[in-house]
C-alpha cells in the first residue's frame, strides 16, 4: 500500500502511509487507539476507499472497490466485532454470499456442512457446523470468522485485535494456528496493541502513530519497552503507582449468589466474596463467565435466584436500582454510550443524572439551570475534562476519554461506599487509561471499596489488591495480586488450578 | 439553545414546506388544475374575512392538541399512534357527563373536561402499561386500542338512553357543559344590538367561537414547562433519548413510561373534549370511520419538530390550509385532496431532510480532497 | 351450525383474510430485510384505486390486478429511496406514504371519473371456473364460488415466500440483512440492493392487497375502500413473528374473528354487533399478553445501515 491517505471530513485519519507485507509472514500493525490501523485495513478490505494512494498485490496495481473485490483478490478479514449473524448456524454464516446451491437456488446445506467440516479439519479449527452462533463461546466464534475467510480461498488474512476476547490458553492455540497458516504460505496481518503477542507471534511489525507510519521492524530486534515507546512516542510507565492497601470494615458482602440469565441458565453459580473499605477487588475472567450477571445482580439490573448481597450489612438484592444507588453504590458501566451517558444531553445534565432532584439543583420539581451548570463547571475543572467550559455542550462532542471522565465525576462525587467499574478503560488511549487507574486507586485510598471487572488481565494485575477469578459462574480463587502472576491467573481463568 | 441551533432546525422544515407546495403545484398542473389560482383561492379562504380567521383558529384546536400529544410522546421515546382512540374516548366521556348530568355552569364544563381527560389518559396508559409489563410494542397495542375505542364509541352511541333517532346523533351536551363563548349573550336583545353595530364582532360570534383555543394554548405552555423546566420532564426526556442509561442511574423508567402515555392520552382526549363541547351541534355523531384528528397529529408533530410551541404554529398552519382548501374547492374546483398530497410530500421532505445533511457533508469532503491534491 | 353456515364462514373468512395477508406478507418481506414499512395502508389505497381504474378502463380485472402491483411498487419506491439511500427515519417516511397514497388516489378518482367513487369495474373471477360453479348451482356448496382466484394466489405466495426465505440463498441473504447488515456487507453482498428488492416486493404485495378490496370484495374504489387494513396487516405481521406462515395464521385468525362477528350480527341485533366487532382486537391484545415471547423482530429492523459501522 503506497502513499495512502484517508480523510473523514476534517479528520485526517491516514496521512501518507506506506505499508508492505511479505508473503508467508505474520506482520503486526501496532498503534494506539485512533492511530488509524483499522482504517488502513478497512481500505485494504474494500470497506473504505482511499482518497489518495495505490495498492499493489503481488506487484500488480489493484483497485479494491468493495469487500467483494477484496475477496476476489483473496483477501479475508476477521473483524474485532465479529460479523456473524447470531441466529444463524456456523454453516449459514460461512456460506453467506457464496452459497452452494442445488437447483432453484436452494441452498445445499448437506454439502456445505461437509465441505466446511473438511476445511476446519484441514486447518485444525474444529467446529460444529450446525450450531448457532449465539450458542457458541467467543473463541469458537472467532474460528468461524477465520473459516469464513479461508472458505473463500483467502491467501491474505487480516485480523483486527484477534486476542481481545480469548483466554491465555486460547491465545496459545490461536498463535499455533496462525503459525501453521503462515507456514502454508498464507500472509497474515494482525492489528494489535498487545506488545507481548507482537513479540511472541509476529515476524515483522509496523508501528503507526497518528495516521503516519513510523517504522517497520523485525520484531526479533526490539523488545517490548522499545516497541511501546515507538507506539506512543514517549517513555511509558508500566504498572500503576500505589501504596499498599489498608482495608478496614467490610462494605460489600456477597453470599452464595445464584443468578440466572434470560433463558433460565445459571450464570452465577454460588458465588461468595467480600470487599472491604480501602481495597480494590479485581474480577478476572474470560468474557461470558458470569461477570456481567454478577454486576447486574449487585446493581439490581437483574433478579437473583438465591443468595444475598449486602452493602454495609443491609441486603439489597432484588430491590430497585434507585435503592442500590442510595445505599451507596456507584457504577461506571461497560458501555458509556449505551448505559453511561445520554449523548444528546449536555455535560452538566449528564453529571447530574443522579442528583438532579436534590437541592440546590431543583426545588419543588423545578430545575435550576444556573446552579446545575455551576456545579458541572466545578467538576469539569476538578476532573480535568476538556474542553473546560463544556458544561452546556452536548456530551457527544467530547472525546471518549473525556466522556469517561464525566461518568467518573458523576459516580465518585456522590461519595459512594462501593464503586463498581466495569471495563472502565475500554476504547481509551494510554493517557486516559492512566488517569482512570489513578482515580480508582485514589478512591480506594479515600476509604472506598472498589470492584473492578475487566477483561484485560494486565489492568487487573496493575490496579487490583486482590484478584477473584471467575470461571463458569464460580469464583475459583481469590488471591493477593502481589502474590500471583499472569500465568497463574491465566490458568485459573480456564479452569486450571493454582500453582 | 442558541439562535444558530434554532435556525438549523427551522431551515429543513421551511424547505420541506416550500417543497411540498411546489411539487404539489406541479402535480396540480399535470392534472389540469391551475396551481396559482388554486393557492390564491386558498389564501383567500384563510384571510379574507374575520370569520375565516376565526374559523382557522377554532379549527386549529384539535390539531394543536393531537399534535402536542404525539409530539410529547415522541419526546418520551414513544410513538402515540393511539391518539385517534384517545380522542374518541374524550368525546365519548365528555358527552356522557355533559349530556346526562346536571351541574351549575362552568363547574359542569370543568367536571366533564376533567373526567373525560382522565379517561382518555387511562386509555393511553393501557398501551404504556402493556409495554412496560409485557414488552409489547406500543404501536401494535395502540392500533388495537384505537379499534376497540371505535367500537366502544359506537356501542354506547347506539344506546337508547343516549341516541336521538331523528338526528342520528347523541343527546346534546347541555349549555352548562359547553365551552362556547358568549353563546347565550348573542341571542339576547342587548347582544343583538351590539352585533348589529360591529361587523367584525358579529362575524366572529357567528362562527361559534369557544374557549378551546385558549385552553389549547395553556396546554402547550404547560407541556413546554413540564418538559424543559421540571425534574419529571428531565426524566421523561432522558427516557426518550436513552432508556438504558435512564434505568442505570436509578430512574423509574417503567413508571415514567406509563405516565408519559397517560399524559399523551390525556392531551389527545382533551382535543376530543374541546371539539364536542365547543363545536355545534355539541353531540356525538355516527362515526363511519376514524375522524382523523388523531392521525393528523402525527404530521403536525413532525412538522413542529416535536416541540410543544412548534405544535401551536403547526396546528394553526395546517388548520389554515385545510380551511383554505374548502374555499379553493368551491371557488376554483380544485379537489381538497391536494392538501393530503401536499401534506404527504411535506412529511416526505422532512424525512429526507436529515439525510440532506449527509449529502452536504459528502460534498464538502470531496471539495477538501481536491484542495489537498492541489497542494501537492 | 349448518353446513351452509360453515361454508359461509369459510368463504367470509377467506375474503377478509386475503387482502390482509397480501399486505402482511409485504410487511414481512420489507421488515425481514431491515426496513420498517408502516405505509402499507397508503400503498393498499393506491393499489385499490389503480386496480379499479384499470379494470374499468380496460374491462380486464387481471390487468387491473397487475397494474395495482406496479402502482404499489411505484409508491413504495419513494419510501425505499428515503429509507435506504437517504437513511431517513422510516416511521416518518412510512407516514408520508400513507398520506400520499390516500391523497393521490382520491384526487385522481375525482379528476378522472368526476365522482368520489370510481365506476363499477369488472371483478376478479372466482377460484372455480364457471363450468364447475355451474355444477354446484342450487346445492349447499354454491357459496363456495365466492372464493376469489386471488385467494388461491395469496396462499401460494405464502408457500413461495416460505421456500425462498428459508431454503434458498436469496432468502439467507435477506434474513441476514435484517439481522446483521454489516456481516452481509463484509461478505460482498450489497445491502442496499437486497433492501430495495424487498421493499419493492412489499409494495407489489400491498398493492395486490388493495386491488383485492376494490375488484373482488367490492367492485369500485372510494375513500372508504381501505379503512385500516394496512395497519391490521402490520399487527398480523408482528403477531406472526415476522414469518410468512405466522402472518398467514394471524390473518386467518383476524379474518375468522371478523367473519364471526358479521354472522352474529345477522343473527343477533344491531346493538350487540359493536361489542362483537371489538372481539378480534381484544383477542389480539390478549394473545399478545399471553404469548409474549422474546421479540423475534429482525435485529436491524428500522435502523438505516451505514457502511463501516460496527
The 10s digit of each residue's pLDDT in B227-272 is 999 999 999 999 999 988 999 998 999 999 999 999 999 999 999 9
Q: What's residue C4's pLDDT?
A: 76
What is chain A's mean pLDDT, rounded? 82
Confidence of residue B368 (pLDDT cuts 50, 70, 90): low
Report the pLDDT value the prediction gives residue B272, as an integer from 0 to 100: 93
pLDDT beyond 70 at A496: no
Mean pLDDT (whole number) for B303-311: 90
Mean pLDDT of A298-312: 89
B93 with B115: CB under 8 angstroms? yes
- For residue C288, give the nearest of C239, C253, C231, C229 by alpha carbon: C239
- The distance between the two most distant Cα atoms of chain B, rounded to a whole number of Å, is 90
**What is the mean pLDDT of the segment spanning B274-287?**
84
Summarize pLDDT for C196-235 with one digit per residue, the tens: 999 999 999 999 999 999 988 888 888 888 888 888 888 8
B261 with B340, same domain?
no
Return the minimum-mean-pLDDT range out of A15-19, A63-67, C64-68. Answer: A15-19
Q: Are residues B58 and B196 in the same domain?
A: yes
Tell me: pLDDT of A376 over 50: yes
The three three-digit cell numbers of residue C189, written as one number: 453482498
pLDDT of residue A22: 80
Whether residue A213 is found in the same domain as residue A274: no
A43-47, A237-241, C235-239: least confidently modelled range:
A237-241
Find the CB nearest A107 among C168, C186, C299: C168
Residues B81 and B15 in one domain: no
Residues A316 and A279 reside in one and the same domain: yes
Residue A237 scores a pLDDT above 60: no
Angstrom distance (rounded) from CA C208 to CA C215: 10
Residues A349 and A473 in one domain: no
3-state secondary structure chain A: CEEEEEEECCEEEEEEECCCCCCCCEEEEECCCCCCHHHHHHHHCCCCCCCEEEEEECCEEECCCCHHHHHHCCEEEECCCCCCCCCCEHHHHHHCCCCCECCCCEECHHHHHHHHHHHHHHCCCCCCCCCEHHHCCHHHHHHHHHHHHHHCCCCEEEEECCCCCCCHHHHHHHHHHHHHHHHCCCEEEEEECCHHHHHHHCCEEEEEECCEEEEEEEHHHCCHHHHHHHHHCCCCCCCCCCCCCCCCCEEEEEEEEEEECCCCCEEEEEEEEEEECCEEEEEECCCCCCHHHHHHHHCCCCCCCEEEEEECCEECCCCCHHHHHHCCEEEECCCHHHHHCCCCCEHHHHHCCCCCCCCCCEECCEECHHHHHHHHHHHHHHCCCCCCCCCCCEHHHCCHHHHHHHHHHHHHHCCCCEEEEECCCCCCCHHHHHHHHHHHHHHHHCCCEEEEECCCHHHHHHHCCEEEEEECCEEEEEEEHHHCCHHHHHHHHCCCCCC
pLDDT tens digits for range A451-474:
999 887 778 888 888 899 888 888
Q: What is the model's pLDDT at position A3? A: 64
Residues B179 and B295 in one domain: yes
Residue B376: predicted pLDDT: 36
pLDDT of residue A15: 76
Q: Are residues A362 and A216 in the same domain?
A: no
Chain A residues near any Cβ of chain C (below 8 Å): 42, 45, 47-48, 66-71, 77, 79-81, 83-88, 92-93, 95-99, 101, 104-107, 148, 262
- Chain C environment of A77 (Cβ under 8 Å): 186
Q: Do B162 and B153 touch, CB atoms closer than 8 A? A: no
Rounded average pLDDT over A387-413: 85
- pLDDT tens digits, residue range C98-115? 888 988 898 888 888 888
Determine the pLDDT at residue B372. Answer: 42
CATH number of the domain within which B270 lies: 1.10.3470
Establish if A333 belongs to a structural domain: no
The yes-or-no verdict on residue B375 having pLDDT over 50 is no
DSSP β-bridge partners for residue A308: A255
pLDDT at C310: 37
Residue A45 maps to a domain: yes
Comparison of pLDDT for A165 and B95, the residue scoring more: B95
How many contacts (CB atoms, under 8 Å) link A and C?
80
Q: Is the pLDDT of residue C46 over 60?
A: yes
**Phi, psi (degrees; rounded to nearest 5) at B106:** 65, -50
| Residue B76 to residue B260: CA distance in whole angstroms | 7
- Supply the pLDDT for residue B91: 92
Q: What is the dihedral of CA C244, C246, C247, C252, to 10 degrees?
A: 130
How many CB atoms within 10 Å of residue B164? 13
Q: CB–CB of A117/A129 below 8 Å?
A: yes
Please give the share of chain B, as a percent, with pLDDT higher than 70: 85
Determine the residue among C188, C298, C300 to mutate to test chain A binding: the one whose Cβ has the most chain A Cβ atoms within 10 Å: C188
Q: Is A382 part of a structural domain of the chain?
A: yes
Pick the residue of C39, C104, C107, C303 with the most B CBs within 10 A to test the interface with B by mutation.
Answer: C107
Percent of chain A with pLDDT over 70: 91
In a domain, B359, yes or no: yes
The pLDDT of A166-180, averaged and rounded, is 80
**Mean pLDDT, range B121-148, rounded to an integer:** 88
Q: Mean pLDDT, to the nearest integer, of B42-71?
A: 88
Q: Which pLDDT band holds residue C131 (cuts at 50, 70, 90)?
A: low
Within-domain flag for B319: yes
Q: What is the reported pTM?
A: 0.81
Pairing mode, strands A187-192 and A26-30: parallel
Whether pLDDT at B6 is above 70: no
Higher pLDDT, C19 or B183: C19
Of A413, A441, A461, the one marking the end of a domain is A413
Same domain as A177, residue A74: yes
Residues A369 and A258 in one domain: no
Structural domain for C235, as ranges: 11-290
pLDDT bin (cut points 50, 70, 90) of residue B374 is: very low
pLDDT of residue B1: 46
Mutate which of C165, C169, C300 to disrupt the A interface (most A C-beta within 10 Å)? C169
Contact A83 C180 (CB under 8 A): yes
Mean pLDDT across the stretch C7-30? 91
Cα distance from A364 to chain B (closest Cα, Å)? 9
Q: Domain end: A395, A413, A431, which one?
A: A413
Q: What is the mean pLDDT of residues A229-238?
A: 61
Is residue C270 scored above 60 in pLDDT? no
Mean pLDDT estimate for chain B: 83
pLDDT of A133 higher than 70: yes
Q: What is the pLDDT of residue A453?
A: 92
- Does the pLDDT of residue A12 top 70, yes or no? no
> What value, to the nearest 5°, has the Cα angle with vertex C223 and ends C222 and C228?
120
Percent of chain B whose predicted confidence (pLDDT) is above 90: 33
Q: Cell for A182?
A: 503462515
Q: Say if residue A9's pLDDT is above 60.
A: no
pLDDT at A167: 67
Q: What is the pLDDT of residue C309?
A: 46
SS3 B180: strand
Q: Is the pLDDT of residue C293 over 70?
A: no
Percent of chain C exceeding pLDDT 70 equals 88
Q: Where are the beta strands (DSSP E) in B117-202?
A: 163-164, 169-170
Mind telling me how many Å the CA of C299 is from chain A's nearest CA? 10
Does the distance separating the beta carbons of C103 and B134 come in below 8 Å?
Answer: no
Quick check: C100 and B344 CB within 8 A?
yes
Rounded Cα–Cα distance for residues C30 and C212 (Å): 20
Q: Give the pLDDT mean for A436-464.
A: 88
Same domain, residue pair A77 and A18: yes
Q: Which of A74, A81, A85, A111 to mutate to test the interface with C (most CBs of C within 10 A)?
A: A85
Q: Which residues on chain C are in Cβ contact (under 8 Å) with B347?
A: 92-93, 95-96, 99
**Three-state DSSP state, B344:** helix
Mean pLDDT confidence for A171-190: 86
The values of phi and psi at residue B148, to 5°, are -65, -40
Domain of residue B346, residue span: 1-33+334-376
Query: Considering its fold, how many domains does chain B have in total?
Result: 2
Is residue B39 included in any domain, yes or no? no
Q: How far apart are CA A257 and CA A475, in angstroms?
A: 11
Residue A345 to residue B238, Cβ atoms within 8 A: yes
Amino acid A202: pLDDT: 85
- Per-residue pLDDT reduced to its tens digit, A67-124: 888 888 888 888 877 888 888 888 888 888 877 777 777 888 888 888 888 888 888 7
User: Where residue A186 sits, what CATH number does that domain have?
Assistant: 3.40.50.300
A322 shares its domain with A356: no
Mean pLDDT (whole number) for B335-340:
79
pLDDT band, residue B69 (cuts 50/70/90): very high
Residue C112 lies in a domain: yes
Tally of structural domains, chain C: 1
Domain boundary among A361, A380, A413: A413
Q: How many domains does chain A have?
A: 3
| A42 pLDDT above the threshold of 80 | yes
Q: CB–CB of A340 and B234 under 8 A?
A: no
Chains touching C (at least 3 CB pairs under 8 A) are: A, B
**Model confidence at B365: pLDDT above 70:** no
Does residue B79 have a pLDDT over 80?
A: yes
Would you say residue B45 lies in a domain?
no
For residue C192, give the CATH number of its domain: 1.10.3470
Residues in chain B: 376
- Which domain covers residue A206, as residue numbers? 2-232
For the purposes of burial, counting CB atoms within 10 Å of the CB of B350, is it exposed (0-12), middle (13-18) or buried (19 or more)? buried
Interface residues of chain C, partner chain A, Cβ below 8 Å: 164, 167-170, 172-173, 175-176, 179-180, 182-189, 294, 299, 307-308, 310
Q: Where is pLDDT greater, at B158 or B5?
A: B158
Please give the residue that has the higher pLDDT: either A185 or C309: A185
Average pLDDT, integer, range A169-183: 83
Amino acid at each position: 500500500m503506497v502513499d495512502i491517505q484517508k480523510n473523514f471530513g476534517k479528520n485526517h485519519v491516514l496521512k501518507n502511509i506506506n505499508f508492505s507485507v511479505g508473503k508467508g509472514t505474520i506482520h503486526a500493525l501496532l498503534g494506539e487507539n485512533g492511530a488509524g490501523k483499522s482504517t488502513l485495513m478497512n481500505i485494504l478490505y474494500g470497506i473504505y476507499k482511499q482518497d489518495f494512494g495505490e495498492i499493489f498485490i503481488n506487484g500488480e496495481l489493484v483497485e479494491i472497490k468493495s469487500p467483494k473485490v477484496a475477496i476476489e483478490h483473496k483477501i479475508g478479514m476477521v473483524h474485532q466485532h465479529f460479523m456473524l449473524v447470531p441466529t444463524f448456524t456456523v454453516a449459514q454464516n460461512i456460506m453467506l454470499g457464496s452459497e452452494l446451491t442445488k437447483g432453484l437456488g436452494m441452498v445445499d446445506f448437506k454439502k456445505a456442512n461437509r465441505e466446511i467440516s473438511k476445511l476446519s479439519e484441514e486447518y485444525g479449527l474444529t467446529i460444529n457446523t450446525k450450531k448457532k452462533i449465539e450458542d457458541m463461546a467467543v473463541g469458537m466464534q472467532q474460528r468461524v470468522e477465520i473459516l469464513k475467510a479461508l472458505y473463500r480461498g483467502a491467501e491474505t488474512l487480516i485480523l483486527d485485535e484477534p486476542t481481545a476476547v480469548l483466554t491465555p490458553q486460547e491465545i496459545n492455540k490461536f498463535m499455533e494456528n496462525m503459525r501453521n497458516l503462515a507456514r502454508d504460505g498464507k500472509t497474515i496481518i494482525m492489528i494489535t496493541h498487545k506488545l507481548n503477542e507482537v513479540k511472541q507471534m509476529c515476524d515483522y511489525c509496523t508501528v503507526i502513530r497518528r495516521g503516519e507510519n513510523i517504522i517497520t521492524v523485525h520484531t526479533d530486534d526490539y523488545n517490548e519497552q522499545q516497541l511501546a515507546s515507538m507506539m506512543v512516542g514517549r517513555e511509558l510507565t508500566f504498572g500503576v503507582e500505589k501504596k499498599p492497601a489498608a482495608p478496614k470494615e467490610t462494605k460489600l458482602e456477597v453470599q452464595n449468589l445464584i443468578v440466572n440469565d434470560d433463558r433460565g441458565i445459571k450464570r452465577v453459580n454460588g458465588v461468595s466474596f467480600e470487599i472491604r473499605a480501602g481495597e480494590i477487588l479485581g474480577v478476572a475472567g474470560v468474557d461470558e463467565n458470569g461477570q456481567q450477571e454478577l454486576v447486574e445482580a449487585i446493581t439490581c439490573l437483574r433478579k437473583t435466584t438465591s443468595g444475598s448481597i449486602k452493602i454495609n450489612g443491609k441486603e439489597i438484592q432484588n430491590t430497585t436500582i434507585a435503592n442500590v444507588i442510595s445505599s451507596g453504590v456507584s457504577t461506571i458501566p461497560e458501555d458509556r454510550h449505551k448505559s453511561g451517558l445520554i449523548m444528546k444531553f449536555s455535560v452538566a445534565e449528564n453529571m447530574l443524572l443522579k442528583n438532579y432532584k436534590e437541592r440546590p439543583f431543583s426545588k419543588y420539581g423545578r430545575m435550576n439551570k444556573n446552579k446545575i451548570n455551576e456545579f458541572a463547571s466545578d467538576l469539569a475543572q476538578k476532573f480535568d475534562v476538556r474542553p473546560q467550559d463544556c458544561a452546556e455542550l452536548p456530551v457527544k462532542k467530547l472525546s471518549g476519554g473525556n466522556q469517561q471522565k464525566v461518568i467518573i465525576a458523576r459516580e465518585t462525587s456522590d461519595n459512594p461506599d462501593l464503586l463498581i467499574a466495569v471495563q472502565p478503560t475500554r476504547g481509551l488511549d494510554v493517557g486516559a487509561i492512566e488517569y482512570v487507574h489513578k482515580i480508582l486507586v485514589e478512591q480506594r485510598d479515600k476509604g472506598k471499596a472498589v470492584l473492578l471487572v475487566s477483561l484485560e488481565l494486565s489492568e487487573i494485575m496493575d490496579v487490583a489488591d486482590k484478584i477473584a477469578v471467575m470461571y463458569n459462574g464460580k469464583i475459583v480463587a481469590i488471591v493477593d495480586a502481589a502474590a500471583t502472576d499472569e500465568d497463574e491467573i491465566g490458568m485459573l481463568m480456564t479452569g486450571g488450578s493454582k500453582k | 439553545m442558541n439562535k444558530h441551533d434554532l435556525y438549523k432546525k427551522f431551515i429543513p422544515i421551511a424547505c420541506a414546506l416550500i417543497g411540498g407546495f411546489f411539487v404539489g403545484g406541479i402535480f396540480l398542473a399535470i392534472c389540469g388544475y391551475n396551481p396559482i389560482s388554486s393557492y390564491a383561492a386558498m389564501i383567500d379562504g384563510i384571510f379574507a374575512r374575520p370569520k375565516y380567521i376565526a374559523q382557522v383558529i377554532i379549527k386549529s384546536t384539535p390539531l394543536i392538541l393531537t399534535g402536542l400529544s404525539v409530539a410529547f410522546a415522541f419526546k418520551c421515546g414513544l410513538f402515540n399512534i393511539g391518539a385517534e382512540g384517545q380522542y374518541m374516548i374524550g368525546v365519548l366521556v365528555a358527552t356522557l357527563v355533559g349530556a346526562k348530568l346536571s351541574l351549575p355552569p362552568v363547574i359542569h364544563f370543568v367536571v366533564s373536561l376533567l373526567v373525560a381527560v382522565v379517561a382518555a389518559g387511562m386509555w393511553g396508559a393501557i398501551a404504556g402499561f402493556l409495554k412496560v409489563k409485557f414488552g409489547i410494542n406500543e404501536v401494535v397495542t395502540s392500533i388495537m386500542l384505537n379499534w376497540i375505542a371505535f367500537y366502544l364509541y359506537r356501542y354506547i352511541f347506539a344506546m337508547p338512553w343516549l341516541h336521538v333517532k331523528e338526528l342520528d346523533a347523541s343527546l346534546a351536551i347541555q349549555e352548562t357543559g359547553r365551552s362556547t363563548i358568549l353563546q347565550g349573550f348573542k341571542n339576547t336583545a342587548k347582544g343583538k344590538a351590539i352585533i348589529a353595530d360591529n361587523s367584525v364582532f358579529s362575524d366572529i360570534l357567528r362562527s361559534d367561537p369557544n374557549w378551546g383555543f385558549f385552553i389549547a394554548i395553556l396546554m402547550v405552555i404547560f407541556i413546554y414547562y413540564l418538559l424543559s423546566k421540571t425534574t419529571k420532564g428531565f426524566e421523561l426526556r432522558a427516557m426518550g433519548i436513552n432508556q438504558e442509561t435512564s434505568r442505570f442511574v436509578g430512574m423509574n423508567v417503567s413508571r415514567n413510561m406509563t405516565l408519559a402515555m397517560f399524559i399523551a392520552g390525556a392531551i389527545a382526549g382533551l382535543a376530543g373534549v374541546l371539539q364536542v363541547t365547543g363545536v355545534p351541534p355539541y353531540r356525538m355523531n355516527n362515526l363511519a370511520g376514524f375522524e382523523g384528528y388523531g392521525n393528523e397529529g402525527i404530521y403536525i408533530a413532525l412538522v413542529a419538530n416535536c416541540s410543544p410551541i412548534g405544535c401551536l404554529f403547526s396546528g394553526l398552519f395546517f388548520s389554515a390550509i385545510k380551511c383554505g382548501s374548502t374555499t379553493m374547492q368551491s371557488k376554483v374546483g380544485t379537489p381538497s385532496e391536494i392538501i393530503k398530497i401536499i401534506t404527504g410530500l411535506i412529511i416526505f421532505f422532512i424525512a429526507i431532510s436529515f439525510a440532506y445533511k449527509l449529502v452536504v457533508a459528502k460534498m464538502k469532503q470531496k471539495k477538501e480532497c481536491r484542495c489537498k491534491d492541489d497542494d501537492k | 351450525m349448518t353446513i351452509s353456515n360453515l361454508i359461509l364462514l369459510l368463504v367470509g373468512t377467506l375474503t377478509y383474510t386475503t387482502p390482509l395477508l397480501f399486505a402482511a406478507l409485504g410487511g414481512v418481506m420489507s421488515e425481514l430485510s431491515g426496513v420498517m414499512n408502516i405505509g402499507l395502508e397508503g400503498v393498499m389505497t393506491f393499489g385499490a384505486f389503480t386496480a379499479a381504474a384499470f379494470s374499468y378502463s380496460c374491462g380486464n380485472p387481471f390487468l387491473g390486478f397487475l397494474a395495482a402491483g406496479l402502482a404499489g411498487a411505484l409508491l413504495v419506491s419513494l419510501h425505499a429511496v428515503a429509507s435506504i439511500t437517504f437513511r431517513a427515519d422510516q416511521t416518518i417516511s412510512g407516514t408520508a406514504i400513507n398520506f400520499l397514497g390516500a391523497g393521490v388516489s382520491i384526487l385522481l378518482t375525482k379528476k378522472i371519473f368526476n365522482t368520489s367513487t370510481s365506476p363499477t369495474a369488472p371483478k376478479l373471477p372466482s377460484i372455480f371456473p364457471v363450468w364447475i360453479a355451474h355444477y354446484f348451482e342450487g346445492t349447499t356448496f354454491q357459496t363456495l364460488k365466492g372464493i376469489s382466484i386471488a385467494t388461491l394466489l395469496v396462499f401460494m405466495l405464502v408457500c413461495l415466500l416460505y421456500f425462498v426465505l428459508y431454503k434458498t440463498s436469496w432468502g439467507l441473504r435477506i434474513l441476514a440483512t435484517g439481522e446483521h447488515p454489516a456481516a452481509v456487507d463484509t461478505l460482498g453482498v450489497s445491502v442496499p440492493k437486497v433492501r430495495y428488492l424487498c421493499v419493492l416486493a412489499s409494495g407489489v404485495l400491498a398493492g395486490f392487497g388493495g386491488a383485492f378490496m376494490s375488484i373482488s370484495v367490492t367492485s369500485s374504489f372510494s375513500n372508504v375502500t381501505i379503512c385500516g387494513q394496512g395497519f391490521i396487516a402490520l399487527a398480523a405481521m408482528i403477531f406472526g413473528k415476522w414469518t410468512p406462515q405466522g402472518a398467514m395464521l394471524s390473518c386467518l385468525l383476524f379474518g375468522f374473528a371478523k367473519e364471526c362477528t358479521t354472522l352474529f350480527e345477522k343473527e343477533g341485533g344491531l346493538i350487540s354487533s359493536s361489542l362483537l366487532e371489538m372481539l378480534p382486537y381484544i383477542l389480539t391484545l390478549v394473545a399478545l399478553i399471553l404469548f409474549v415471547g422474546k421479540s423475534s423482530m429482525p435485529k436491524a429492523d428500522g435502523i438505516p445501515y451505514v457502511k463501516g459501522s460496527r
